[in-house]
Structure 1
Amino acid sequence: MSDEQSRAREESLSRAFTGASRVECRPVDIEATRLAYQEAGFDVTDELVAFLGTYGETTVFWPSHITGKETSLTISVEEAAEAFAPNVRYFEKRLGMSALPVGIAFETEEMVLLAENGDIILGGDAGVQRVAHGFEEAVRALISGDSRTDPPPAPASKGAGQAEQGNSAPPTDSDRRERVRVPVRCWAEGPNSAALNRRLECLLCPVIG
């Protein structure tokens, strides 16, 4: 993709995202993208290739609803390739479907994932949250503060010995060598719901507020 095509994408997405302070797009190299995902141990699906061909190397900026300061969401192969694979697997388990990292969001660098059904998901230490179906709808929801999110299906019952393990938080960089299990019930209640709510700038209040 050329610089001219990147500028055309910037103009198109700037028109699509009312309320965005600016949109920045960089060229996308599909073959380099395939290689980066493969080297990171992630699948390269047709849906992923199509998504990155359209939205790859794009950053959208908008004013925070909380602080008024500029915040952003970035679709970046480099950021995606650096995603911690065990966290991705944890998020997939919580979602009940496969998902692939595609970038980061906010100052807290929440992981942005593309689910197999086309949903855009945000994942972090506190858990996972659906934003919207499709990238453009998700970005518009984040910018407007009108995010409509859906809770996941109720988890299957587990034996007493499995309950803690099923609800443990995903491993982070700080506990790769020694896993620390923290109960997570971030969808509607629990100690981590407030942290997730802050990270998503109160956009998830209809679900967890």
Structure 2
Amino acid sequence: MNRSCVALFTLMLSTHVLGAYQPPGNSEADYRQAVASLDALEPQLMRMIQQLAEGTAAQDLEPRLSQLRGEWNPALQQLQRAVAAGHAVAQYRMALYRFAYQPDAPVLDDPGQCTLLVKSLEQGFAPAALRIANQCIGYVDGPAYGPALSKALEDFSQFSGYYPQPAVTLECVKQDPKDIQLQWGDAPSYQAELYRLLGFAANRRSPLRGELWQKAVDINGCPAIARRMHRLQN
């Protein structure tokens, strides 16, 4: 990754507020309405999963689960309309739900998820980069990954109105191992995550890697990178 390009993107972010993301068609209304419902329902579903893990019989939960399913499915269909229209944030959220609630074990490079994540990232939506780094190894190893990360850095401020956002794991946020729900991160958290990933994408022998990682630490402490940098320095 060209060092001067990263420096230019950083300068742009610090001195100029980019225009807001313009979703296609009427997809913004579908996205907002869908996630308002899903965000209210998701903690209730996760509590039921916790109850099952603690030994509650499935039949005891079925009446409430049926009620939640009746609210969840229409909201997910509305989110799908936004996805079909090309809404970058909706694409990310749909991929995340497919991962979190799929019945089987996760499969690397799953096309259903990776197609959505790549479309989201290549429109500049940074949170998609986190799932791609763990789920879509074929894309990470390909030529489009680095430019897509750079675009997400360049376009970061365009999506400021869409934070906070959920994630499976935020490496730059202190984690609560008892919490089985999706983690939520604000804009600085995801900006730190983006610098973390950009550092990994840079040549390991280049000083640029350390500079990018230091930016992640400067933003919010980024525990994962702070520990790695400490080990490398000792």
Length-normalised TM-score, structure 1:
0.30
Structure showing the higher strand proportion among its residues = 1
Highest RCO, 1 vs 2 (Cα 8 Å, sep ≥ 6): 2
Larger radius of gyration: 2
Structure showing the higher helix proportion among its residues = 2
